[in-house]
Structure 1
Amino acid sequence: MSGSTPTTTATNTEPTTQQIDFLIVGAGPVGLLAANLIIQAGFSVRILDVEYEPNHWGRGDWIHGRTLELLERAGLAEELLSTGVKVDQIASYMNGELQSSIPFVPDEVESKHQYLLCVGQHITETSLQSSLTNQDVEVERPATVINIIDGPDANYPVRTTVMHLRDEARTEQVDCKYLLGCDGAHSDIRQQLGIQTEGETTETHAGVIDALVRTNFNAGRKDVCMLQNDVAKTISLFPRENGLTRIFVHFDENELEMRKEQYNRNKIQLEDIQREAKRALLPNRLEFLGILYWSVYVVGQRLATQMDAMRQRVFLCGDAAHCQSPTLGQGVNTGFGDVFNLVWKLCMVERGVIKRDILSTYTAERKPVAQQVLAVDKVAAKAAAGHQSSKEYCSIVQEHRAFTTGFGIQYRNSNSNSETNKNPLLLGSNNSKNQALVQTGMRAPNFKVFHYATGRKTRLFEKVHGDWLAFNMLVLADDLVKSHAAVESLLQWKHPALSTQIVITTTPADKIESEGILADMKDRIMLDKLNRAQVHAAYHSNNNEEDVQAVIVRPDGYIGAIAGGSTPDELVGAVKKYFDGFTA
């Protein structure tokens, strides 16, 4: 593994070539996040963007709770949380009267981020860029990659030509281990690779305004609001940082079909969006005090036919791989999900910890998620543009909110019976015999527990410290007095991919103390005594008689395996089998 400083080589016949671990094209939120995670792992990175200046406004302004969990674990959430507006509910109104109101996050979700964070993309990008600057990495602007070929060096197998547009189109040759295309819906990297997109671009449009407004509409600053009346189009309002409001006007698709000359992307003007917003708020008043940004979106859903190329050396992330309407705020969250899924695998491969063929699981896991995002977005965008009642639109949001908030995303193993097609990162996934609430491939819930050492209420993953690019193990010990021999055997088992081990028990603290069990690891014992031992209840199926289970949590927070055994040797053997399936 090379450090954070790129190297340069030259021969008598070749121009000077820089060698770098990772080259990222695109410095939006997705590319900036990837660069931060790569730097944290100790690898060298360069990040390019074709724009002369950052173009922050009008894009990904919703950050869902699941995304916040991942950002927080990587130490990248603090500024966003202190700046953004936390939104608890989505509410629908008709003629100024409240029709329905539902929580953004389902009640059963166990997370401390049970809300939507509304924060401008410029803040997200500035925060991520500041973190990079502290590591002596700056975005190179305007610059892009104009050629991608196989390189002669097996250690740096991707050869690129980088063009710097400001310096009279100066070019340089850069060899890298991996190239990440994070360059948006019109990705030049995707086009150079000859990767096609599938899907549709509709005739439906949505106007958006970021503004300072004054209104007597009395909805709280904690709600996203869908509004309609008898004379106007559907609009949505949601709060932003610093007193800003974002307004979406969902232009009626039937009206657009009849009046294409008036309403198309080039014809819709700021005044049209303002007029429809004011009409939708009637009988309330709406006054625009200042416009910071406005634009018109064409609604559509498109998916790249491939998300990787050149033998898993080039990857597409975010809008470069899949793009949809802004209706449900999925763009930046799905892109961040791509990055968190991919980067830990790349870095652990380069550290020599896991096998290279594991990189194929990026597409296997993330493409189905992208397909589902597009399917849900298509339904929601059609409902908004089709002028269905705002209450019906909210019911669509409610139906899919576990998935759209990210908490309900599940990675599934291959449906094939062939062992060669199964995903080794998901041991025992989709086992129909397992009736447990939480299963392999799901996000590991961040349950509330009591910390044995302090006696204070906490959440499971608050005590996970160190390198986020590592696996963690939850040991469900049930009665620790009976199971401590098996637990101790499991804790003695070590693996380079495994970091923190946390023991969860139903045994009272005083009994643990009097028995002197695991006295040297008090800080990692959690007492499962809330809601009828909710952690054990979630992971144990009705027919599961094993006293101890080992839950292996991947670096991206998804459950890789739920292993058990009736003896210490069986328990350790089951965990070892999982890691043997993909580690080098």
Structure 2
Amino acid sequence: MTIDTATTNNTTHSNNNNSSNNESSTPKQIDFLIVGAGPVGLLAANLIIQAGFSVRIFDVEYEPNHWGRGDWIHGRTLELLERAGLAEELLSTGVKVDQITSYMNGELQSSIPFVPDEVESKHQYLLCVGQHITESSLQSSLTNQDVEVERPATVINIVQGPDAEYPIRTTVMHLRDEARTEQVDCKYLLGCDGAHSDIRQQLGIQTEGETTETHAGVIDALVRTNFNAGRKDVCMLQNDVAKTISLFPRENGLTRIFVHFDEKELEMRKEQYNRNKIQLEDIQREAKRALLPNRLEFLGILYWSVYVVGQRLATEMDAMKQRVFLCGDAAHCQSPTLGQGVNTGFGDVFNLVWKLCMVERNVIKRDVLSTYTAERRPVAQQVLAVDKVAAKAAAGHRSSKEYCSIVEEHRAFTTGFGIQYGQNKNNNDNNPLLLPSKEAKVQTGMRAPNFKVFHYATGRKTRLFEKVHGDWLAFNMLVLADDLIKSREAVESLLDWKHPALSTQIVITTTPADKIEQEENLSTTMKDRIMLDKLNRAQVHAAYRNNTNTNNDDVQAVVVRPDGYIGAIISGSTADELVGGVKKYFEGFTV
């Protein structure tokens, strides 16, 4: 049995430069130091290396041991991983889940798509893949860049250093080498060390929230059953005599089983069912009872554990003048009910790392780093609020059908596609990365939908952002040209405008291909950027122009941030209006 426990200690260690076993007198220098080599820390290290910066990553565990933890990767997360070139192995290994279904006494009650139908993405599903595979894939990518996790090691002291370029001085303890210590100065430190984060404690950052008396048991197993559920379904099961359980398909024929122990029964039988006394046999028994009248046989158990349901949020997500940041469970933790842990942590990293790297490249202003907490903390608050409702439903007396209704109500947000920045008063007015937009279906702060289009140069169907995969650390621009024949001058002016933060510019037009062919002096570069918006009645234009304030003759410049969120939507009919608007947006936060 695995029980999550604090993995670090808070012992204060003094420096002793006279000892041969202790740190050298000359501190080592590194751009980024990461504590915690779970998925969140490994992803951060990969993105930092891609950006060309140096990194060291430490983990307190002697060996990676992450069976049974985060095994849900939502479609929005897959989009971001794919843009960074880190999704291929996971996609080839995991199981793609299309639907969530509920059963009562063996009878189907409801079935809904896991991702809302209106979402435009190639990843309209949930990917179920073990955390050990996610970590192995990310670690392999790091190894290919000559970076290895240093373990067992951790940071035991963080202070302001004397070097202005490397202002954070840390003391690193290597536990295998007779507690050898070394001093490492860094530009930034990322605390990715989990719910019991020692980095958070060293910074004196408190957490808010609650830990309940509700428990959930989890088993990863090879099973045999005559329950006839689809291999691509997440199933919620309940009957008149058993608790609610969830079945998730996993890679290599595995099944994950969650048993949501009833909160009222736990209250009555607290002595029997506290976290340390729920046994494997208890979880197996309840799983078998919930599947009645079907049979369930366990052929092999690979992992099992018990979770205490709770939701906790750090009061701050950065410290030491935006030089130290908390990511993932170190900043916010919740129950595993909706699979939000890894996904929210990955969202933190994708939001933060591009800002840090562009600051260090002297492309954007340092004060932009304050938008990390301003944008991600409200997301974490919403994750915890939704999780609290869902976990209570799963552990209470509500039917599995009602639980599925709760999932359906919040699935746009929980799958990541519906996350929007700028909805909170604390981050709406003072965020230079979000230029307020007029009322429309698609607005600034939202994820930029990955619509289907035709590539003019090849005539093939594609998606808008196929060209930016593997080159994620830059802004991109969508130019909605409508009739390219009429708007060509304004469009070419936008394409001629350059900025160090801006990479790919894509032109979307409703003009038929044969008319574009008649245009003279179109460069090969421009032809390669043109996408034909003819699927589903020009859906790209319809989404961005679904308001009464946009003239259909206007060109729209949509600026998409490196993390895939819309920063600005600028409309105009002349080159001066468009280029001036785009320039003003970038001047708000670039150096």
TM-score (normalizing by structure 1): 0.96
Number of the residue aligned with 2:13: none
Q: Deviations over 1:401-446 (max 9, x none)?
A: 00000000000166379x9x51000011xx5xx2311000000000
Q: Hey, what's the Cα distance between the residues in 2 that align with 1:360 and 1:366?
A: 10
- Confirm whether residue 544 of structure 1 aligns to residue 580 of structure 2: no
Indicate conservation of the 8 Å contact 1:94/1:229, yes or no: yes
Match of 1:524 among 515, 524, 529: 529
Match of 1:387 among 375, 382, 397: 397
Q: State the secondary structure of the residue aligned to 1:446.
A: coil
Q: State the secondary structure of the residue aligned to 1:363.
A: helix
Number of the residue aligned with 1:459: 463
Q: Deviations over 1:188-218 (max 9, x none)?
A: 0000000000000000000000000000000
Task: Please list, as runs of the form range in 1=range in 2, the aligned pairs for 1:174-573 lying within 5 A after superposition.
Answer: 174-412=184-422, 415=425, 421-428=429-436, 431=437, 434-464=438-468, 467-516=471-520, 518-520=522-524, 521-540=526-545, 541-545=547-551, 546-573=553-580
Structure 1 residues 45 and 254 mapped into 2: Cα distance closer, same or farther (>3 Å)?
same
**How far did 1:387 drift?**
2.7
Counterpart AA for 1:94? M
Q: State the secondary structure of the residue aligned to 1:579.
A: helix
**How far did 1:543 drift?**
2.9
Indicate conservation of the 8 Å contact 2:24/2:182, yes or no: no
**How far did 1:542 drift?**
3.0
Q: Hey, what's the Cα distance between the residues in 1 that align with 2:425 and 2:174?
A: 46
Q: Hey, what's the Cα distance between the residues in 2 that align with 1:262 and 1:169?
A: 41
Task: Please list, as runs of the form range in 1=range in 2, the aligned pairs for 1:26-45 lying within 5 A after superposition.
Answer: 26-45=36-55
For structure 1, the residue ranges without an aligned partner over 5 or more in a row are: 1-9
Indicate conservation of the 8 Å contact 2:418/2:447, yes or no: yes
**How far did 1:566 drift?**
2.6
**How far did 1:516 drift?**
2.6
Structure 1 residues 574 and 315 mapped into 2: Cα distance closer, same or farther (>3 Å)?
same
Structure 1 residues 130 and 466 mapped into 2: Cα distance closer, same or farther (>3 Å)?
closer
Q: Deviations over 1:462-509 (max 9, x none)?
A: 122563100000000000000000001111100000000000000000
Task: Please list, as runs of the form range in 1=range in 2, the aligned pairs for 1:3-18 lying within 5 A after superposition.
Answer: 15-18=25-28
Indicate conservation of the 8 Å contact 2:95/2:250, yes or no: yes
> Which stretch of the first structure deviates more once superposed, 543-552 or 374-383?
543-552
Indicate conservation of the 8 Å contact 2:31/2:53, yes or no: yes
Q: State the secondary structure of the residue aligned to 1:515.
A: coil
Structure 1 residues 506 and 140 mapped into 2: Cα distance closer, same or farther (>3 Å)?
same
Number of the residue aligned with 1:578: 585
For structure 2, the residue ranges without an aligned partner over 5 or more in a row are: 1-16, 18-22
Query: In percent, how many aligned pairs have the same letter?
Result: 90
Counterpart AA for 1:564? S
Q: Hey, what's the Cα distance between the residues in 1 that align with 2:314 and 2:414?
A: 20
Number of the residue aligned with 1:3: none
Counterpart AA for 2:392? K
Counterpart AA for 1:55? N
Q: State the secondary structure of the residue aligned to 2:518.
A: helix
CA root-mean-square deviation: 1.4
Q: Hey, what's the Cα distance between the residues in 2 that align with 1:77 and 1:515?
A: 39
Task: Please list, as runs of the form range in 1=range in 2, the aligned pairs for 1:131-142 lying within 5 A after superposition.
Answer: 131-142=141-152
Q: State the secondary structure of the residue aligned to 1:400.
A: helix
Q: Deviations over 1:336-373 (max 9, x none)?
A: 00000000000000000000000000000000000000
Counterpart AA for 1:302? R
Indicate conservation of the 8 Å contact 2:82/2:470, yes or no: no
Indicate conservation of the 8 Å contact 1:413/1:426, yes or no: no
Q: Hey, what's the Cα distance between the residues in 2 that align with 1:151 and 1:383?
A: 49
Indicate conservation of the 8 Å contact 1:463/1:524, yes or no: no
Number of the residue aligned with 2:67: 57
**How far did 1:28 drift?**
0.2
> Which stretch of the first structure deviates more once superposed, 270-279 or 455-464?
455-464
* Aligned residue-pair number: 567
Number of the residue aligned with 2:11: none
Q: Hey, what's the Cα distance between the residues in 2 that align with 1:272 and 1:344?
A: 46
Q: State the secondary structure of the residue aligned to 1:46.
A: strand
Structure 1 residues 293 and 455 mapped into 2: Cα distance closer, same or farther (>3 Å)?
same
Q: State the secondary structure of the residue aligned to 1:218.
A: coil
Q: Hey, what's the Cα distance between the residues in 1 that align with 2:396 and 2:452?
A: 42
Q: Hey, what's the Cα distance between the residues in 2 that align with 1:554 and 1:437?
A: 18
Indicate conservation of the 8 Å contact 1:414/1:422, yes or no: no
Q: Hey, what's the Cα distance between the residues in 2 that align with 1:264 and 1:517?
A: 75
Indicate conservation of the 8 Å contact 1:426/1:440, yes or no: yes
Task: Please list, as runs of the form range in 1=range in 2, the aligned pairs for 1:20-99 lying within 5 A after superposition.
Answer: 20-99=30-109
Indicate conservation of the 8 Å contact 1:76/1:128, yes or no: yes
Counterpart AA for 1:567? T
Q: Hey, what's the Cα distance between the residues in 2 that align with 1:416 and 1:283?
A: 52
**How far did 1:517 drift?**
6.0
Counterpart AA for 2:179? A
> Which stretch of the first structure deviates more once superposed, 137-146 or 460-469?
460-469
Q: Hey, what's the Cα distance between the residues in 2 that align with 1:180 and 1:415?
A: 27
Q: State the secondary structure of the residue aligned to 1:168.
A: coil
Q: Hey, what's the Cα distance between the residues in 1 that align with 2:510 and 2:77?
A: 31
Indicate conservation of the 8 Å contact 2:85/2:470, yes or no: no
**How far did 1:531 drift?**
1.0
Q: Hey, what's the Cα distance between the residues in 2 that align with 1:236 and 1:14?
A: 53
Q: Hey, what's the Cα distance between the residues in 2 that align with 1:203 and 1:197?
A: 18
Indicate conservation of the 8 Å contact 1:413/1:422, yes or no: no
> Which stretch of the first structure deviates more once superposed, 321-330 or 516-525?
516-525
